[in-house]
């Protein structure tokens, strides 16, 4: 692959995983960016042990979506061709980075975004998804397919590859965990070429907090619908996501 590849990881308080993830990742790629989103647990100290890794810091914490937006800006600013984003909690395996990146310039089906999917196929040893996360993912994924005319299987996987030249057309304003929903609406509106890439389903923290009231599954689902509808309205798209959207 001749394209310039950047792999970016949004990181917040990942002192348990960051060293092992970076050590493995650097066996597969050269250019790595960590967006340290205001970590307070010693993550910043560990990052100093990896001088070959570029670090952008948010002080204070700004949110998952804001960290990804910083990665998008960085990839454009420094002239990369392909950006791969992956989480730093052990869910995403670095050995797949080049595989997912190479699909962007596939000879027969080039794409603007390759989105990882934990549900496209089963892998030996796949984890069981926490029930509330799986149900919400299924509902929101069905909504997105119904309203945006897509055919995806996993709306929330953070393991993605992007054509960097396409990122200039995005206007990401959602700073939290709902940012991928804004991304899907914009990608559909921009007629991006989108494909999925099957990845193993690994859960290392089944009790991860989404922050405050969003730990309540019903409130989180309502929030996701709200984000989707706000972005549709902002884009002048006529659809609306209702409370029953995606319900089988």
Tokens 């000879």 map to which residue? 107
The β-bridge relationship of strands 160-163 and 113-117 is antiparallel
Percent of the residues in the chain that have a pLDDT greater than 90, as a whole number? 77
Alpha helices in 57-130 (DSSP H): 64-77, 97-102
pLDDT of residue 207: 59
Residue 149 has pLDDT above 90, yes or no: yes
Flag whether 31 is in a domain.
yes
The answer to whether residue 143 is domain-embedded is: no
Q: Domain for residue 221, yes or no?
A: no
pLDDT reported for residue 54: 98
Once rounded to an integer, what is the mean pLDDT over residues 75-96?
Answer: 93
Q: Does 138 reside within a domain? A: no
Calculate ∠ Cα 154-158-155, nearest 5°: 25
Per residue in 91-104, pLDDT (tens digit) is 889 999 999 999 99
Mean pLDDT of the chain: 92
Could you give the number of structural domains in the chain?
Answer: 1
| Domain-located, residue 59 | yes
Handedness of CA 80, 78, 188, 199 (dihedral sign): positive
Q: Give pTM, 2 decimals.
A: 0.93
Quick check: is 112 in a domain? yes
Question: Which range of residues forms the domain containing residue 120?
Answer: 5-129+151-206
| Residues 140-163, mean pLDDT to the nearest whole number | 95
Residue 223 lies in a domain: no
Q: What's the CATH code of the domain at 89?
A: 3.90.550.10
């Amino acid at each position: 692959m001749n394209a310039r590849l950047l792999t970016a990881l949004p990181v917040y308080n990942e002192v348990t995983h960051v060293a092992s993830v970076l050590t493995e990742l650097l066996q597969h790629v050269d250019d790595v960016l960590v967006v340290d989103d205001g970590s307070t647990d010693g993550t910043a100290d560990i990052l100093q042990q990896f001088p070959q890794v570029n670090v952008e810091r948010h002080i204070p914490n700004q949110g998952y979506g804001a960290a990804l937006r910083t990665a998008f800006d960085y990839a454009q600013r420094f002239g990369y061709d392909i950006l791969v984003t992956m989480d730093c909690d052990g869910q995403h395996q670095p050995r797949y980075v080049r595989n997912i990146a190479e699909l962007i310039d596939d000879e027969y089906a080039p794409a603007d975004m390759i989105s990882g999917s934990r549900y496209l196929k089963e892998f030996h040893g796949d984890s069981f998804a926490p029930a509330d996360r799986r149900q919400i993912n299924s509902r929101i994924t069905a909504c997105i397919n119904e309203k945006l005319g897509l055919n995806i299987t996993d709306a929330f996987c953070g393991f993605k590859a992007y054509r960097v030249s396409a990122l200039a057309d995005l206007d990401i304003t959602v700073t939290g965990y709902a940012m991928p929903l804004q991304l899907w609406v914009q990608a559909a509106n921009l007629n991006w070429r989108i494909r999925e890439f099957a990845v193993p389903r690994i859960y290392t923290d089944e009790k991860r907090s989404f922050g405050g009231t969003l730990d309540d599954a019903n409130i989180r689902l309502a929030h996701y619908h709200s984000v989707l509808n706000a972005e549709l309205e902002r884009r002048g798209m006529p659809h609306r996501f209702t409370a029953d959207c995606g319900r089988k």
